[in-house]
Amino acid sequence: MSETYRIALLPGDGIGPDVTAEAVRVLRALEEKIPGLKFETEEFSIGAGEFLKNGDPLPESIYAELPRFDATLLGAMGLPGVRWPDGKEMTPQVDLRERLGLYQGLRPTYLYHGDDSPLKGRKAGDIDFLLVRESTEGLFSTRLVSRDPGSDRATDTMLITRAGAERVIRAAFGLAMGRRKKLTLVDKANVLPSMAFFRQVFDEIAAEFPEVTTERVYVDAMALYLVQRPEAYDVMVTENMFGDILSDLAAALVGGMGMSPSADIGDTCAIFQPSHGSAPDIAGMGIANPVATILSAGMMLEWLGGELAKQGAAMIDAAVRKVFAGPGRTRDMGGSLTTGEMGDAVIAAL
Ligand code: ATP
């Protein structure tokens, strides 16, 4: 049996190249461990650094290349001082989600060791939920509209379309079917008409999945419940901005941004990246935690779906569990391992 996958690498800015390099080392180690599994990788430059070189953070020529690949692994994008003339940060990773229709932002949260949670009394596996963030509309929908600098008003639009809501909610139900069959809708239907519509669509689709237990929670209450009783949740689905905020909160429950992988999935293509940004405060220091990116590579293998790829995904998961059962941690989690040493530890555990 053999499986060869073409992977586009977009390391990006700040700590992006460091953490991507570790994930690629893990993929290479899997090639050694799993006969027949092969990765053909090609690296492209997008992000704030690319903008400084060529005046465009996401050159069309690179965008046009991506469909040639089976999947894309991305590091992190953006640098604090590099902005558009109107002051907005460059976010080619968000542009990619919108342009490629990657509407399912999957943010799994898993506690590998009780000591890594700021919550008391939790042990490995107690926190294990999946946040599904709609990633093509919602409150991000007017993010590219320029504000009239002469006006004393500024607005953003929470866009919910039936098609956009249906596809992400249906996907979330499908994911819940593969887990503990519980899906929680997170919205603000009591205040915002857009969110009331999101809930209406959720209720309609819920009828298609009678085996899934459903629950509806307002986003403010969810911020409270995620801290008080995160173990109560399995799969959650929400709009873009609420998902953005809650996924950072979720990361904090299990050790921080360095432990939070993600996948942005559409109907035909997908991009995998850590949930964190370019972390300019620690860029170039060799201390970034690469685990979120390594776990994102694991999600990529699961999505690629071949038998060998899935075997690789299971091996990454098992290796990270093994490493985190022991004491080795990077600085963000109170340890002293460098980025490369954490990569070494995962590879040794494979
Ligand atoms: P963005 O807006 O692009 O999500 P941000 O500037 O809000 O990015 P991050 O870049 O994610 O935030 O960084 C938030 C904090 O988490 C910073 O203090 C950063 O150093 C830390 N951090 C993020 N990722 C990692 C990592 N992989 N390892 C260690 N620390 C990290």
Instruction: Give the tens place of pLDDT for each residue, 180-190.
Output: 999 999 999 99
Task: Give residue 56's pLDDT.
Answer: 92
Ligand 1 binding pocket mutation candidate from 241, 276, 291 (most atoms within 8 A of CB):
276
By C-alpha distance, which of 296, 277, 299, 302 is closest to 288? 277
Protein residue with least CA distance to atom 9, ligand 1: 277
Domain covering 128-142+156-253 assigned CATH 3.40.50.2300 in the classification: yes
The residue contributing the CA closest to ligand 1 atom 12 is: 277
Q: Are 214 and 185 in contact (CB under 8 A)?
A: yes
Tell me the CATH number for domain 1-102+259-350: 3.40.718.10
Q: Which residues of 262-278 are buried (b: 16+ CB within 10 A; e: fewer)?
A: bbbbbeebbbbbbbbbb
pTM of the complete model: 0.96
User: DSSP assignment, residue 147?
Assistant: P
Give pLDDT, residue 148.
86
pLDDT band at 244 (very low <50, low <70, confident <90, very high): very high
- 288 CB within 6 A, ligand 1: yes
91 CA distance to ligand 1 middle (Å): 15
Specify the pLDDT at position 87: 80
SS3 259: helix
Task: State the Cα–Cα distance between residues 273 and 8, nearest whole angstrom.
Answer: 12
Model pLDDT for residues 198-215, shown as the tens digit of each residue: 999 999 999 999 999 999
Atom of ligand 1 nearest to the CA of 281: 20
The pLDDT of 167-186, averaged and rounded, is 98
Predicted confidence (pLDDT) at residue 93 exceeds the cutoff of 90: no
* Average pLDDT for 138-156: 90
Which of 95, 257, 259, 275 should be mutated for ligand 1, with most atoms under 8 A from CB?
Answer: 257
Distance 288 CA to ligand 1 centre (A): 9
Task: Check residue 50 and give its pLDDT.
Answer: 93
Q: Is residue 47 lining ligand 1, measured as CB closer than 6 Å?
A: no
Q: For 163-185, what is the mean pLDDT?
A: 98
Average pLDDT over residues 37-48: 96
| pLDDT (0 to 100) of residue 85 | 83
Q: Summarize pLDDT for 94-138 with one digit per residue, the tens.
A: 889 889 999 999 999 999 999 999 999 999 999 999 999 999 999
Alpha carbon 170 to its chain centroid, in Å, reads 19
Per-residue confidence band for 349, with pLDDT thresholds at 50, 70 and 90:
very high
User: Stretch 62-88: mean pLDDT, rounded?
Assistant: 91
- Pick from 63, 130, 61: which is nearest to 98 by CA? 63
Report the pLDDT averaged over residues 247-274.
Answer: 97
Q: Whose CA is nearest to atom 3 of ligand 1?
A: 277
Q: Name residues whose C-beta falls within 8 Å of residue 127's C-beta, 6 or more positions apart in sequence.
A: 109, 110, 111, 117, 119, 230, 231, 253, 254
With a 6 Å cutoff on the Cβ, whether 18 touches ligand 1 is no
Of 264, 333, 322, 319, the residue nearest 23 (C-alpha): 319
From ligand 1's centre to the CA of 339, what distance in Å?
14
* Residue 16: per-residue pLDDT: 98
pLDDT at residue 168, as a whole number: 98
Around 182, how many Cα atoms within 13 Å sit in the side-chain half-sphere? 10
Radius of gyration of the chain (CA): 20
Mean pLDDT of the chain: 96
Amino acid letter, residue 319: A
CB of 257 within 6 A of ligand 1: the answer is yes
Measured CA to CA, the distance from residue 188 to residue 194 in angstroms comes to 9
The pLDDT, as a whole number, for residue 290 is: 98
Can you give the pLDDT at residue 325? 97
The reported pLDDT for the residue numbered 81 is 87
Tell whether ligand 1 has an atom less than 6 A from the beta carbon of residue 230: no
Give the residue-averaged pLDDT of 158-183.
Answer: 98
Is the model's pLDDT at 317 over the cut of 90?
A: yes
% of the chain with per-residue pLDDT over 90: 91
Q: Where in the chain is the domain with CATH 3.40.50.2300?
A: 128-142+156-253
Distance 17 CA to ligand 1 centre (A): 14
- Minimal-distance CA residue to ligand 1 atom 2: 277
The count of residues in the chain is: 350
What is the structure's pLDDT at 130? 98
Give the separation between CA 345 and CA 322, rounded to whole angstroms: 9
pLDDT value at position 176?
A: 98
The pLDDT value recorded for residue 297 is: 98
Predicted pLDDT at 196: 98
Range(s) of the chain covered by CATH 3.40.718.10: 1-102+259-350
Provide the percentage of residues in the chain whose pLDDT is more than 70.
100
pLDDT at 143 over 90: no
Residue 91 — pLDDT band, cuts 50, 70, 90? confident
CB-count exposure of residue 118 (10 Å: 0-12, 13-18, 19+): exposed
Task: Please give the pLDDT value at position 278.
Answer: 96
Sheet with 270-274, strands from edge to edge, namely 37-43, 3-12, 71-76, 270-274, 261-265, 104-110, 128-134, 235-238, 182-187, 213-218
**H or E stretch at 264:** strand 261-265
Poorest-pLDDT segment among 74-88, 113-127, 174-188, 293-307:
74-88
**Looking at ligand 1, which atom is closest to the CA of residue 288?**
28
Once rounded to an integer, what is the mean pLDDT over residues 219-234? 98
